[in-house]
A = this chain, B = another copy of it.
Amino acid sequence: VDAVERLDAIEAIKQLKARYFRCVDTKDWVGLEAVFAPDVAIDITDDVPADRGGIVQGARAFVADASRSLGGMVTVHHGHVPEIEITSDTTARGIWPMEDMLQWQEGANAPREMHGYGHYRETYELLDGSWRIASMKLTRLRRDTAPV
């Protein structure tokens, strides 16, 4: 991979992840599914135990879960300056510092608010000319919750 191809791939992956954040927060579920490889492997066990859905296989299944759990909330997700490494013509990996705020409706039987911080560790694949998230694992530095 020459320098220009590498820089071009890094910029494409940054915009891919920016689209991930925007689609989650604007509830664009069709757009969200398109950022993932169809067989994406997702691990959010730092938030949700494995036996309660923290391991998800496939873009369709993950977006179905996300639309159900986040659809009725106000969410804000931010990605900060990442470390992205192009590992071949068609593969890459990256680490993204992140911050998220989830706000439940008043009266729900749950904390009204969660404000979290952590890192996404991801791999990427070039599929049919566009980069996709091939795997995504979230680890947390901190999680604050405010009671109803």
Give residues in A with beta carbon < 8 Å to B. Answer: 3-5, 7-8, 10-11, 14-15, 17-19, 21-22, 25-26, 74-76, 78-84, 95, 97, 99, 101, 103, 117, 119, 141-142
Secondary structure at chain A's binding surface: helix, strand, loop or mixed? mixed
B11, B26, B79, B84: the one contacting A10 at CB < 8 Å is B11
Copies per complex of this chain: 3
- A49 vs chain B, min Cβ distance (A): 22
Contacts of A117 in B (CB 8 A): 76, 101
A79 touches B80 (CB 8 A): yes
- A16 vs chain B, min Cβ distance (A): 9
A99 touches B83 (CB 8 A): no
With A8-B7, A103-B142, A141-B25 known as contacts, the answer to whether A81 contacts B83 (CB < 8 A) is no
B3 touches A74 (CB 8 A): no
Contacts of A84 in B (CB 8 A): 15
Name 27 interchain pairs, CB-CB below 8 A, sorted by A: A3-B8, A4-B4, A7-B7, A7-B8, A10-B11, A15-B83, A15-B84, A18-B95, A18-B97, A21-B80, A21-B81, A21-B97, A22-B83, A22-B95, A22-B97, A74-B141, A75-B141, A76-B117, A76-B141, A78-B80, A78-B99, A79-B81, A79-B97, A80-B80, A81-B81, A101-B117, A101-B142
